Structure 1
């Protein structure tokens, strides 16, 4: 159930990435592509802010009132507001629904990871948590196939032209039905039930777990280190990697125009190429996550993160610098997916190993979701670069240089590993 919640969470994230520009193009009548593109970054930033807020709230509530109960609520929130995006008429209500969707999306990871970490046997924990992140690529790929189906229906006239994005968001409401299964079958972990029986759950509502983390030096240090490491990956993905599609749109369009294709043919060729490239990107991500899970078990967590962040820095910068054609993207983007998303398997494995049961959901959610605020700032910063530093939004040079400049974030993650505790072959920490 936890894995399904995360699967649909990632499907929802990808549906938003695929639909945000078509949605804003339809909602912002008369706006230029530059204005739509910049607004796309800003709506993404609002989504990430909601994500961060949701993570901070529901992580603490999960420790206080139960992981399973809160997971049910977060799934209901993100599916409901994804579905409501179907009814958007203006960019501001679309942005509001995306913000509220983010609140639900943000709560899932910390709850799901804590549930799995506290449920499976110790010997299976690394593999189970790494596999949870691999499942995210299946959600992303599923969203892409859904997008292809909706595009086909729109092209055939079943869906009105320019309205396909609405149906993508309506599909995103399906996880609400998952709530019935979660409520009926999902149980709280034994470790959490024992804490409840002994009266050792954190008191003080939503602030109690945070006070527990901050007042004890060991957990406070782990909180800071875990937050910096996780934020590095989150910013790398959402403030850098997520806009690879924007660069592809510009580069692929120029490539197909140079071949003498007409406007309709260029559009069709671009869509087909971007879909194929994204599929390869996700295959690379799945392999990268599997490889990172193996590294964590073989070399330890600290060494694995150094290798992962160093690889992400080099490969991401080279891809943004050198990408020129769809053919190049077919092998470059899988590499970038592998190095950028590989470390996310490490977050699933490492973060629950930093905190005790009574504070685990709070600690994991805080570390994983604090980076959403940084990524939101990165999105706003990237939009500012687009408008005032590297030229207008449609410029390939802007896309390249702003992304390459922001790759410096991976150096911060490498430095943070110096203070990170090694948790390989150690049990989950308790009091």
Structure 2
């Protein structure tokens, strides 16, 4: 019997189902998200030097936590706003707006006069950053054939690691510069994605599914586009929205509150290793910057392979079983890293932690669009992925406060050491041990993801939901 030509051949690789325009959509969405992630990582790498230059007498640990918190809170706000806007006026138009926002305010971050201005710019950058993920995955989910959707979305998320690695390479390139200036160059680089807006606006069309849903909403008022009242007013969409948010909160706190603060652990450990080589203070400072970037690169190479692995496993075994394994692996790898990373030879642990922690995010790209109808797909996906960041924004502050309190307790328990150099070395060791323990305790947040999964459906081999 001959195969029905309208029936896709599921034995083909996913990319064989794409035509030229499908590839264009995939490229634009992937580039927008990849460059978004480049911006995020440049901020992580430039943040501490920027704050030291802008507020040299301030409490650097608290300033660093505050800067991360306002960025993540802005991210959450952007997700809440632009997810709904994307369902109402179109994914393509809104994607261009969000890319322009995060590019412009990243550039302005380099011109900040003090730490307050810097944090305002980072919060506004977060608005644009927050909108991109939900719009990009909704655009791909609605535009590409169903046979290619899941693996295309997982690959889109995996390609975000390319942006992260590129950020690390740029940071390596400026590691020998004056740290009071080098952070500005990184933010200038982060402003470059504005040029992508030109291509988005010229060629990208709204998906046919969205156009049909928009037309239906104009004749049937119960099918409103991008409506939070509709999202939470119907139990079919309210339940996946709320528990999908908790699923994301677990991983977002784990990554942004713990994983991406690993440079706070690697920096002193690497400094100790460099100091043992009898290097000058300037060489040690440059070496710390270089190794911080190298750590990020290794972490994100691991992330790339982890996200590819999650995508393949979820397509074969189902979304929920793979999420369970991924959350447990993320917790175990984070505890291992925080307890045992000691020197540059342990950088392989960054690969393992990146593999496990970020593999979960490929699951979000695949799974979240499968929970909501076309008219709410960007709204629901953005709500789950981004709005939970209001809660996750407390992660960096919590980690900083917990580490500070544990450090005070540890230093108070130290014996009296009359020699100043030895006393400072003992206090630094106590602070480092406190930070290790704080990160270890906070790794329990990954267990929240397992609780959320109990209330969410399996979506493997199911069509995208509609009203």
- TM-score surpassing 0.5? yes
The answer for unaligned runs of 5 or more in structure 1 is 156-160
Q: Distance in 2 between matches of 1:420 and 1:360?
A: 16
Contact 2:248 2:388 in 1 (8 A): yes
The answer for unaligned runs of 5 or more in structure 2 is 1-27, 412-426
Query: Which of residues 332, 353, 371 is equivalent to 1:314?
Result: 332
Query: Which of residues 43, 46, 49 is equivalent to 2:67?
Result: 43
Query: Which of residues 362, 366, 371 is equivalent to 2:388?
Result: 371
Residues 249-280 of structure 1 show CA distances to partners (whole Å, capped at 9, x for unaligned) of 11111222234433233223333333333222
- Aligned partner of residue 389 in structure 1, secondary structure: helix
Give 2:139's aligned residue: 115
Give 1:26's aligned residue: 53
Query: Cα distance, 1:284 vs. partner?
Result: 0.7
Query: Cα distance, 1:289 vs. partner?
Result: 0.3
Residues 338-385 of structure 1 show CA distances to partners (whole Å, capped at 9, x for unaligned) of 000001000000000000001110000000012311221111111212
Q: Distance in 2 between matches of 1:186 and 1:201?
A: 26
Query: Which of residues 254, 260, 265 is equivalent to 1:247?
Result: 265
- Aligned partner of residue 327 in structure 2, secondary structure: helix
Runs of 4+ that moved beyond 6 A: 201-204
Larger Cα-atom Rg: 2
- Aligned partner of residue 419 in structure 1, secondary structure: coil
Query: Cα distance, 1:210 vs. partner?
Result: 0.8
Contact 2:172 2:289 in 1 (8 A): no
The answer to whether 1:170 aligns with 2:188 is: yes
Give 1:337's aligned residue: 354
| Superposition TM-score, scaled by structure 2 size | 0.86
Query: Which of residues 182, 185, 195 is equivalent to 2:203?
Result: 185
- Aligned partner of residue 262 in structure 2, secondary structure: helix
Give 2:36's aligned residue: 9
Query: Which of residues 402, 422, 439 is equivalent to 1:403?
Result: 439
Give 2:231's aligned residue: 213
Q: Distance in 1 between matches of 2:52 and 2:174?
A: 17
Query: Which of residues 451, 456, 461 is equivalent to 1:420?
Result: 456
Give 1:136's aligned residue: 160
Residues 275-314 of structure 1: matches in 2 within 5 Å? 275-314=293-332
Q: Distance in 2 between matches of 1:140 and 1:358?
A: 32
Query: Cα distance, 1:170 vs. partner?
Result: 1.3
Query: Cα distance, 1:29 vs. partner?
Result: 2.9
- Aligned partner of residue 151 in structure 1, secondary structure: coil
Give 1:62's aligned residue: 86
- Aligned partner of residue 68 in structure 1, secondary structure: helix
Q: Distance in 1 between matches of 2:272 and 2:40?
A: 28
- Which has the higher mean CA deviation after the structures are superposed, 275-284 or 14-23? 275-284
Residues 1:429 and 1:278: Cα distance change in structure 2 (over 3 Å): same
Residues 25-71 of structure 1 show CA distances to partners (whole Å, capped at 9, x for unaligned) of 1001334xxx1122011110000000000000000111111111111
Residues 1:68 and 1:273: Cα distance change in structure 2 (over 3 Å): same
Contact 1:390 1:401 in 2 (8 A): no
Query: Cα distance, 1:285 vs. partner?
Result: 0.6
- Aligned partner of residue 217 in structure 2, secondary structure: coil
Q: Distance in 2 between matches of 1:271 and 1:81?
A: 24
Query: Cα distance, 1:78 vs. partner?
Result: 0.5
Q: Distance in 1 between matches of 2:124 and 2:293?
A: 28
- Aligned partner of residue 110 in structure 2, secondary structure: helix
Q: Distance in 1 between matches of 2:47 and 2:246?
A: 29
Q: Distance in 2 between matches of 1:86 and 1:117?
A: 36
Q: Distance in 2 between matches of 1:215 and 1:30?
A: 50
Contact 1:64 1:202 in 2 (8 A): no
Q: Distance in 2 between matches of 1:372 and 1:201?
A: 35
Q: Distance in 1 between matches of 2:339 and 2:299?
A: 17
The answer to whether 1:380 aligns with 2:380 is: no
Residues 75-114 of structure 1: matches in 2 within 5 Å? 75-114=99-138
Q: CA RMSD in A?
A: 2.0
- Aligned partner of residue 425 in structure 1, secondary structure: coil
Q: Distance in 1 between matches of 2:254 and 2:35?
A: 22
Q: Distance in 2 between matches of 1:244 and 1:282?
A: 13
